[in-house]
A = this chain, B = another copy of it.
């Protein structure tokens, strides 16, 4: 279980990200090495076919991976994305996205995470994207 301090740190990252507010994301789970976010569909999140835009999927899962990684970083350190790679597996056509980030390897400087994104349509959830991400921990000054 996360300490109260670590939980507060993750909430603080999430709450200070204007982009997460813009798309309407909410934090649905956070634990050691894990973070999960959800967002409901609205036309403002679409690409040209009315599916969730790949960039919105990327925004949600990049933050999920980043927050997952941050749960095991030293207090006060800042987390930045070095790179991420996103495969779109199925049209993200539905009413809700759920992005789950998990640490694969936590290092002193670099952390590697994996992210899975699920789309819900008519109550049925489908894996629609898979991410592999590298994070860097910037020590507190």
Contacts and interface: CB of A to CB of B under 8 A. Distances in A.
Q: How many copies does the complex hold?
A: 4
A110 interface: yes
Nearest to A105: B89
A41 to B, nearest CB: 10
Given A18-B44, A44-B22, A87-B82, A132 B134 contact: no
A16 interface: yes
A85 to B, nearest CB: 4
Interface residues of A, number: 51
A49 B83 CA distance: 17
Given A20-B53, A114-B130, A132-B132, 19 more contacts: A16-B46, A16-B47, A18-B44, A19-B47, A19-B56, A48-B78, A54-B58, A55-B58, A58-B59, A59-B59, A81-B88, A82-B134, A83-B132, A83-B134, A85-B86, A87-B112, A89-B105, A105-B127, A109-B109
28 contacts: A13-B48, A17-B48, A18-B46, A19-B44, A19-B55, A20-B53, A22-B22, A53-B63, A54-B59, A58-B86, A80-B88, A80-B91, A82-B87, A83-B85, A83-B86, A83-B87, A83-B132, A84-B85, A85-B86, A85-B132, A87-B112, A87-B134, A89-B105, A89-B112, A104-B130, A110-B136, A112-B130, A114-B130
